[in-house]
A and B are shown apart, each in its own frame.
Chain A
Amino acid sequence: MRILVLSNLYPPDYVGGYEIGCSQAVDALRARGHEVLVLTSAPRLPVLHEAHVRRALQLTDVYSKYAMEHSTEVFQRLAESEAHFVNAFNVYQLTRVLEEFRPEVAYLWHLVGLGGLGLVACLQYLGIPWLWHLMDAVPSTLCSRLGRPVPALTALFGKQIRGRYLACSRRLPAEIEAEGISLADQVELLPNWICGPRSPAPTDFFRGDYLRIVSAGQIGRHKGVDILIEAAGRLRTNGYGNFSVDIYGKVSDAFFGDLIDRLDLNDQVKLQGSRTQAELMALYRDCRYDVFAFPTWEREPFAFGPLEAAAEGCVPVMSRICGNAEWFVDGVHCLKADRTPEAFAEIFARILDGEVDLERLSRRASAVVWRDFHLNALVPRIERALEAAARQPRPGVGSAREAYHLALLAEKLSQVLIQEPYCA
C-alpha cells in the first residue's frame, strides 16, 4: 500500500511517546513492504535527511510553555487558531504531496500544531480515505479554543468528518465523545506497544531486603509525581527505610525538588533527569528496578513507560483508573492502587512485608508484554485497519486548488475574527 503519514513531529524531533510510536509504526510498515511517506513539520533542531520523511510543514509550537506565557493574548489566540484550526500553508503542502505521492490511504497521528482540523477537512474534501491513530484526545483538542471544545465545531466534526480510528484504550474515544465529537462506530482498540529485540528474561528479583522503585515520564502533578514522593514519605514514617525511588524525566517545576527536601527524603527519592527511551529500557534492565510506580491521572490514555518497564521485569504499580489499567490485570501482571499517597505506600509496604509474590508478577508481565504487546504482534492489525480505511467510499471529491482556496479563506476569516475585538 502507499501510505501517507501525517504527524506534527517526527523523531529524532519529538515531545513524547506519541511521535515515537508513530516512527515505530512507520518503520514496521516499511519493513513489511509498504510504501510510506511521512509528512511532518520542519524540525526544531537540525536532523539528518531521510528519504521517506518530508519535513515540509509549519509547526505552531503551542506546547512551548515559555513562548506562550511570554506573548500577548492576541498572539496566543492566533497561534492556537493556526495550531488547531487551519494553516493554509500546510494545506497547500499537503495537496502538493497528495498530487505527487497519490496515497491509497492517509495515516494520521498527532496533528496539534499543524492546523490539524484544516488538514483532515482537506483530506475529506479530496476524498482521501484516512485512519487516525489516537493516543491522545486530538480530535477534541483540534475543536477547542482556550482549552474548551467549541460546540459548533465539535458538532460539525461529527457530521462532516468521516474516517476510521485506532485508539489505544476505551477511555480515550469515550473522553472524545464526552466533549461532543461523535466518532460513530469507526473505532478499533489497539494497545500501545514495545519494539526491538527481546531482552533476556529477568533473573534477579526482589528478595525482601530492599525495594527499588522507579518512575519515568513527564514530571508533573497530573502524572502523580507528588503522590509518589508523598507515598515515599509515608512509607518511611511507617518505619520502612529499605527502599529507594528514582524518578526520570525533565524537571521543569521546582515544586518536586522542594517537596523532597521538605519531607527530608533526599536519601531515598532522587530526581534523575531526562533519559531517552532506549536508555530507560537499559536502566530498567541493568539497575534491576523492582517496581515501576505510575500514580497517573484518570485521563491517561495509555502510557508507554509502564509497558517498557514491565517488559524488563519491572512490575507496574499503577492507578486503578487509567488507560493502562484496561490492559493489565491487578495481581496478575501488575498492582493497582487508588490514586493516593496512602494507597501507594500501602502497596509498597505489602511488598516489603513479603505479602506480594513480585517474582511471579514480574515473569508474567514480562512474558505477556513481549508476546502480545510487541509491535510485531500488532502491526498486522494496523495493516488491516489501513486496508479497511482505504476501501471506504470517497464521497464529495473536490480539487486540490479548491481545497487550498477554502483553506486560505478559513485562515483569513479566523485571523480577522480573532483580531477584530483587539482593534476595536
Chain B
Amino acid sequence: MRDLVFYNAACVQVTGARRLILPLRRSVRRLLLPLFQRLVEILQTFDLDLEQVGVRQAQLEATQKEREAEIRRLQQQLAAVSRRQYDLEAFQLDHEALVRRLAALEDHVEALLHERMLGEPR
C-alpha cells in the first residue's frame, strides 16, 4: 500500500549484523499494521476535510465580496434617495412659496377689482 511504504524503510537493503533485528521489525510492523491503516484512514479524512474547508472558504470569500458590493450599491442608493428627498423637500418649499405668492396676488387682484367696481358709475 502506498501509504505504508514508509514503514518498510528500515527493512530493505540492510546488511551485516543489523539484519538480525529485521524479523523483530517485521513482527512489530505486522502487529501495528491495523493501527497504521486506521491512521491512513484518519489522515485521508483530514485531507478530505481540508479540501472541503478550502472550497467553503472560497465560497465564503465570494459571498463576502458579493455582500460588500451589495452594501456599496445600497450606500449609493441611499445617497441618491437622500439627495432626491432633499431635492423634493426643497422643491416642495419652493412650491409652497409659489402658492403663497399666488394666493397673495389673487387677493390683491380681487381687492383691486372690488375697488374698481366701487369706483364705476352705476
Contacts and interface: CB of A to CB of B under 8 A. Distances in A.
Are these two chains actual partners, yes or no? Answer: yes
Interface of A: 170, 320-321, 325-330, 332-333, 336, 338, 368, 371-372
A325 B90 contact: yes
B93 A325 contact: yes
A327 B94 contact: no
Contacts of A326: 93, 96-97, 100
B97 A325 contact: yes
A372 B93 CA distance: 18
A327 B98 CA distance: 8
List of 5 A-B pairs having minimum Cβ-Cβ separation, nearest first: A320-B90, A325-B93, A329-B97, A329-B98, A372-B104
Given A321-B86, A321-B89, A336-B90, A328 B97 contact: yes
A300 to B, nearest CB: 12
Contacts of B94: 320, 325, 329-330, 336
B73 interface: no
B67 interface: no
B101 interface: yes
Contacts of A333: 101
Sorting the interface of chain B by its residue count into under 10, 10 to 19, 20 to 34 or 35 or more gives 10 to 19
Per DSSP, chain B at the interface is helix
Nearest to A189: B100
A325 B74 CA distance: 31
5 contacts: A320-B86, A325-B90, A326-B100, A327-B97, A336-B94
Contacts of A320: 86, 90, 93-94
Contacts of B89: 321
A330 B96 CA distance: 11
Interface string B11-34: 000000000000000000000000
Contacts of B86: 320-321, 338
Interface in B53-106: 86, 89-90, 93-94, 96-98, 100-101, 104
Contacts of A328: 97
B99 to A, nearest CB: 10
A330 B97 CA distance: 9
B101 A368 contact: yes
Contacts of A338: 86
B62 to A, nearest CB: 39
A321 B90 contact: yes
Interface centre among A329, A336, A371 (most CB of B within 10 A): A329
Contacts of B108: 371
Contacts of A371: 108
A361 to B, nearest CB: 14
A338 B82 CA distance: 13
Contacts of A332: 98, 101
Nearest to B83: A338
Nearest to A298: B89
A371 B94 CA distance: 20
A371 B105 CA distance: 11
B90 A327 contact: no
Contacts of A368: 101
Contacts of B104: 372
A330 B89 CA distance: 14
A264 B63 CA distance: 51
B71 to A, nearest CB: 26
A181 to B, nearest CB: 22
Contacts of B96: 170, 326
A328 B100 CA distance: 9
A326 B99 CA distance: 10
B108 to A, nearest CB: 8
A394 B59 CA distance: 72
A170 B89 CA distance: 12
A320 B90 CA distance: 5
A320 B93 CA distance: 8
Given A325-B90, A336-B90, A336-B94, 12 more contacts: A170-B96, A320-B90, A320-B93, A321-B90, A325-B93, A325-B94, A326-B100, A327-B97, A328-B97, A332-B98, A368-B101, A371-B108
